[in-house]
Amino acid sequence: MSTNPEFEDEVSSFNSSKDHSIVWNYFEKIQPGQDGIKKASCNGCGKVFKANKGTTTMKRHLPKCFYINEPDPLRKRAPLDQAMYREKLAYSIIKHNYPFSYVEHEGTRDLHKFLHRDVTPITRNTAKADVLKIYDREKTKLKEKLQKITSRICLTTDLWSSITTDGYMALTAHYIDDSWVLRKKILNFKVIPPPHSGKLLAEYLVNLLGNWGIEKKVFTITVDNAKYNDVLVDCLNSHFRLNRVLLCDGDCTHD
């Protein structure tokens, strides 16, 4: 078995009088080299230990690579995929609307460490970066899908205010995919600073459509009866007519 000297640990190991130790079910002895130092390598990960006096350190290493307390004690413990662990953690934050500080909770870290001792805890800033990475990736995938579909896209939009009076614009796309399945995707939930005039909201909406690359695929846009939407609809109608993106040049458009 090949060995890598850079992973050698300064630990005690075995001698001939202790060859009956349980560790030899999991370690392979390596013939001493020119330096005369005895060594042993783990059958699970290949890590090399210096082996001269005892097996205590090798025993401590066993649970990292083997399920020694289960019916099949020689079964190797799967190594932790830290990248996959972080992605699963990010998905749980997104799905259940957890705060980013969730990953720093002592109970959370204890649980994950119990499930796999090689888990490396992450901070709330790392969790935030992982969530944003997933968002960017999913946005790119959805953007490609929207640009490839052959049907037109119906949009709904509304302005929503939080309890702190912050304004948010929601934009949702409704379309039929190539399998004739009706799809609904939230494209944006964007903070909109005041004032919330129809003209400014129309500019925001046009920019969002341009960012998604679907400005020329718009079929309808549905809004509620808020007063500012009268101006918003007029501005959008003029913009789409000017750019000739409406069906029948907008003759069938109802304001």
Decide if pLDDT at 10 tops 80: no
pLDDT of amino acid 250: 61
Which tokens is 82 given? 């830290």
Decide if pLDDT at 6 tops 90: no
Residue identified by tokens 């990248």 is 83
- 3-state class of 209 per DSSP? helix
* Predicted TM-score (pTM) of this structure: 0.64
Decide if pLDDT at 13 tops 90: no
Model confidence band, residue 216 (pLDDT cutoffs 50, 70, 90): confident
The string of pLDDT tens digits covering residues 116-142 is 878 899 999 999 999 999 999 999 999
Q: Where are the beta strands (DSSP E) in 116-212?
A: 153-161, 167-176, 182-191
